[in-house]
Amino acid sequence: MSIPLIFALTYPAYLLWAAVSDLVAMTISNRLNLVLAALFFPAAVLLGLSVGEIGIHVAVAAAALVLGMTLFALRFMGGGDAKLIAATALWLGFDGFIALLFYTAISGGALTLAIITARRLFWGWAPKLPKWLGQHLEPKTGIPYGIAICAGGLLAIPHSDLWAHLTPLLNF
């Protein structure tokens, strides 16, 4: 397995880690977000992105962080989710970020509807379930939006310029 491929697989692995963390503990650690962001740079260099392309990724991530923090301030998402959006956007670039927003919105809507429906139908089961699962049936608990960000981030991969740099290495 080549080094660029190992770094490229890092992105989906960290997104899945964030989704599981949000599902189980309703938190996404700052460390996870920082490591995901930091690993972008060696991956970008190994995959052959130019300095200009890396700069675009950084600018998109900064814009994503502003968007995420605004949504956090409006209480639409948690702080870990806001930082995960930015770290994810860093890996995707501009076109990938647009796809991320679209896919995350669709995934988040479906996730929210599923949890609201489960809360109405199965709220009495919450005490009988493991804590990590039962907490999602409690009416005051938030939505583990890291799951939607993970889905959006994975679905957006083909739209990113990193993917364009990776596919020749995979012989697609």
- Tell me how far apart the alpha carbons of residues 165 and 96 are, in angstroms, rounded to a whole number: 13
The answer to whether residue 1 scores a pLDDT higher than 90 is no
Q: What is the mean pLDDT of residues 131-151?
A: 93
Cα–Cα distance for residue pair 125/22, rounded to 1 Å: 21
* Average pLDDT value over all residues in the chain: 92
Residues in the chain: 172
Residue 140: per-residue pLDDT: 86
Q: Which residue has the tokens 């049936």?
A: 137
The whole model's pTM is what?
0.93
What domain range includes position 57? 3-170
Domain count, the chain: 1
- The C-alpha atoms of residue 14 and residue 82 are separated, in whole angstroms, by 15
Give the C-alpha separation, 89 to 97, whole Å.
5
